[in-house]
A and B are shown apart, each in its own frame.
Chain A
């Protein structure tokens, strides 16, 4: 039988119709952009604020802490640590905080460069920022940054999950978030949920452009959407607040050279489908990460309210109705030594006092760690007899009991944990 050229043509068209029909039917459905705001706090807790140290001085350097409340009444915190940032010996460490006893567990390594390389079956040069959350499947999820070649700007994201509250982790799954060899997606901000059960991960891009994004993951951990928050070369590390249903308020680190160095803000009124132009709010930002949370029906920011240094960590509250932002408290303040650096003895005295306070709740740990952490801190932040103070990379979570937990890097050498109540915040507003 001779098949005419036209028959081939119509056979091809029929195949195209069948394949594309199948593809259209199987294509992911349009995602809904609905987000519910958290319920208002039911009670005002008694005013209290306590500070602790979550890390144990296992590594010279620690950075980029994250935390999540587990279903068994503990907090799991994680951070990366090693001989220096970007070194091949850097691992992601974890520790548990018991909300009842107020004690931190011993630190333990969770993820390493080699476990990431073996698990993803590719070369990995270094690992970085982790972000913890309870996944849509109820397990503990960790999204973290890894780099195969180059600096942090060429990072990729990995997703690992744990069935046993973070003690052990499965193989990392590489999240493909960029078409350019999957380069340059990093995480820092706290994840949030859409109404349909998908997870929004605040992320950012810093190769060529510097801008915020939201990467959306489904129950299986597949990337189902990625929304760009802005363009250009000026913003990093978005943190997301949901002040009202479908209303998103995002604050970002300002990373451009040109002044003024202020926190950037973008808003969405349709659940994150479209975004406003970025505006600078009247809060200084020295190209450093910020954290944000909602309490007492207000938005709160934690960050370095200076245009150059990371030597003080401020708590700011939104006055509402365009009244601007007010600093209501400094968690740490080494700004007296911004211009004239502290001598080593001044540093040891000042930092030692703060450290001593933070270790009060675990006397045994104080005995073991005080000099170790202080020594590591001075090695990290002192040079030629002069020292600076550095308190950065804040991360905030609110636990079910209504307490707010702040984690940040203390002088590059410890992860500090400050826990406070909405009652304490209310006192600051008086």
Chain B
């Protein structure tokens, strides 16, 4: 049940983050919730709802992904300030730096299986250092998310998995992070080509903010494409 509620929340946040900013009003909120309920309960193929398929393929998203989505959603609703650029970049860079070697190793490229560390307390120490450091430098988002991840894992009532890695990172987040930087590179490149002054930080920031919304859509499209490729007969 918790897993389904998490999925509902995740889907709602994804839709809220993808929707253009001007649509963010109470009407849009109600609409997205109705769409979500339809997605959750109306059978679309072979008697199964879309949520049934999504759960079949990706399972639970990590707590970090959920927190990023919530931060995006709440900022779009005007409830909180947008996530500070520095922290956002730090999180996404960390996801790439940790995620690529992590998934490579877990797919069998090395004798060491880092996924095993997540079953015990081995990952707690580095996360503890990160949380302390983030609190000290007042990166409140990072500090609170890392603490939340650890408490949800320790209580053991959150995700289907009992492995701390699954609370910390998931492949969709890695795909999103890669897509984000790819798009950012394209935007910067386009900025140079069109002779936009690089010093005009605000212009570029606005461009990033606009593209940010489509990053999710792109990431999801890549994931769906990947899923369909995997569906080919093996």
In the complex, per-residue mask of A203-220: 1 if CB is within 8 Å of any chain B CB, else 0 = 001011111000000000
Total cross-chain contacts (CB, 8 A): 159
> B residues within 8 A CB of A207?
107
> Beyond A15-B147, A176-B163, A226-B115, is A9–B136 a contact (Cβ under 8 Å)?
yes
> A residues within 8 A CB of B55?
121-123
**Residue contact A176 to B166, C-beta cutoff 8 Å:** yes
**Residue contact B59 to A181, C-beta cutoff 8 Å:** yes
Q: How far is the CA of A12 from the CA of B136 in the complex (A)?
A: 8
Stretch from B85-93, B153-161, B211-219 that touches the partner = B153-161
**Residue contact B132 to A16, C-beta cutoff 8 Å:** yes
> A residues within 8 A CB of B110?
231
Sampled A-B contacts (26; CB under 8 Å): A9-B136, A12-B140, A26-B155, A28-B119, A30-B120, A117-B52, A121-B55, A122-B55, A149-B56, A151-B233, A151-B234, A152-B234, A176-B162, A179-B165, A179-B166, A180-B106, A181-B57, A208-B107, A211-B108, A223-B163, A225-B120, A226-B116, A227-B113, A228-B113, A231-B108, A233-B108
Scan residues 197-220 of chain B and give those whose CB is less than 8 A from a CB of chain A.
Answer: none
**Residue contact B106 to A153, C-beta cutoff 8 Å:** no
For B102, B135, B233, the residue with the greatest tally of chain A CB atoms inside 10 Å of its CB is: B135
Scan residues 136-186 of chain B and give those whose CB is less than 8 A from a CB of chain A.
Answer: 136, 138, 140, 143-144, 147, 150-151, 153-156, 159-163, 165-166, 169-171
**Residue contact A23 to B154, C-beta cutoff 8 Å:** yes
> B residues within 8 A CB of A174?
59, 160
**Residue contact B147 to A178, C-beta cutoff 8 Å:** no
Q: Is B4 on the interface with A (CB-CB < 8 A)?
A: yes
Q: How far is the CA of A3 from the CA of B115 in the complex (A)?
A: 42
> Given A121, A205, A208, which contacts B4 in the complex, CB threshold below 8 Å?
A121
Q: Is B131 on the interface with A (CB-CB < 8 A)?
A: yes
**Residue contact A223 to B57, C-beta cutoff 8 Å:** no
> A residues within 8 A CB of B154?
19, 22-23, 26-27
> A residues within 8 A CB of B106?
178-180
Q: How far is the CA of A209 from the CA of B143 in the complex (A)?
A: 36
Q: Is B41 on the interface with A (CB-CB < 8 A)?
A: no
> Given A13, A26, A178, which contacts B115 in the complex, CB threshold below 8 Å?
A178
Instruction: Report A's interface with B, CB cutoff 8 A.
Output: 5, 8-9, 12-13, 15-16, 19-20, 22-24, 26-28, 30-31, 117, 121-125, 148-154, 174, 176, 178-182, 205, 207-211, 222-228, 230-233
CB distance from A232 to the nearest CB of B (A): 7
> B residues within 8 A CB of A209?
107-109
Q: Is B48 on the interface with A (CB-CB < 8 A)?
A: yes
> Beyond A176-B162, A179-B102, is A225–B56 a contact (Cβ under 8 Å)?
no
> Beyond A123-B48, A226-B115, is A149–B120 a contact (Cβ under 8 Å)?
no
Q: How far is the CA of A223 from the CA of B231 in the complex (A)?
A: 27
CB distance from B78 to the nearest CB of A (A): 23
Q: Is B58 on the interface with A (CB-CB < 8 A)?
A: yes
Q: How far is the CA of A205 from the CA of B103 in the complex (A)?
A: 14
> B residues within 8 A CB of A230?
111
**Residue contact A24 to B121, C-beta cutoff 8 Å:** yes
Beyond known contacts A179-B169, A225-B119: 5 more, CB 8 A cutoff: A24-B124, A27-B154, A123-B53, A149-B57, A205-B107
> Given A12, A22, A225, A231, which contacts B143 in the complex, CB threshold below 8 Å?
A12
CB distance from B121 to the nearest CB of A (A): 4
For A16, A117, A211, the residue with the greatest tally of chain B CB atoms inside 10 Å of its CB is: A16
> Beyond A27-B121, A224-B162, is A150–B234 a contact (Cβ under 8 Å)?
yes
> B residues within 8 A CB of A153?
234
Q: How far is the CA of A15 from the CA of B155 in the complex (A)?
A: 16
> A residues within 8 A CB of B135?
9, 12-13, 15-16
In the complex, per-residue mask of B35-78: 1 if CB is within 8 Å of any chain A CB, else 0 = 00000000000001000110111110000000000000000000
Q: Is B189 on the interface with A (CB-CB < 8 A)?
A: no
For A23, A30, A150, A209, the residue with the greatest tally of chain B CB atoms inside 10 Å of its CB is: A23
Q: Is B195 on the interface with A (CB-CB < 8 A)?
A: no
> B residues within 8 A CB of A226?
113, 115-116, 119
**Residue contact A180 to B103, C-beta cutoff 8 Å:** yes
> A residues within 8 A CB of B160?
174, 176
Q: How far is the CA of A163 from the CA of B124 in the complex (A)?
A: 38
Q: Is B227 on the interface with A (CB-CB < 8 A)?
A: yes
> Given B59, B113, B121, which contacts A182 in the complex, CB threshold below 8 Å?
B59
Q: How far is the CA of A280 from the CA of B7 in the complex (A)?
A: 46
**Residue contact A179 to B115, C-beta cutoff 8 Å:** yes
**Residue contact B131 to A20, C-beta cutoff 8 Å:** yes
Closest to A149 in B: B231
For B4, B113, B153, B156, the residue with the greatest tally of chain A CB atoms inside 10 Å of its CB is: B113
> A residues within 8 A CB of B118?
179
> Given B4, B56, B103, B113, which contacts A123 in the complex, CB threshold below 8 Å?
B56
Closest to B223 in A: A181
CB distance from B149 to the nearest CB of A (A): 10
**Residue contact B124 to A179, C-beta cutoff 8 Å:** no
Q: Is B230 on the interface with A (CB-CB < 8 A)?
A: yes
> B residues within 8 A CB of A19?
131, 147, 150-151, 154
Q: Is B128 on the interface with A (CB-CB < 8 A)?
A: yes
Q: How far is the CA of A117 from the CA of B53 in the complex (A)?
A: 10
> A residues within 8 A CB of B144?
12
CB distance from A16 to the nearest CB of B (A): 4
Q: How far is the CA of A153 from the CA of B229 in the complex (A)?
A: 13
> Given A5, A30, A149, A176, which contacts B227 in the complex, CB threshold below 8 Å?
A149
Closest to A216 in B: B119
> Given B124, B143, B169, which contacts A27 in the complex, CB threshold below 8 Å?
B124
> B residues within 8 A CB of A210?
108
> B residues within 8 A CB of A176?
59, 159-163, 166
> Given A27, A117, A231, which contacts B109 in the complex, CB threshold below 8 Å?
A231
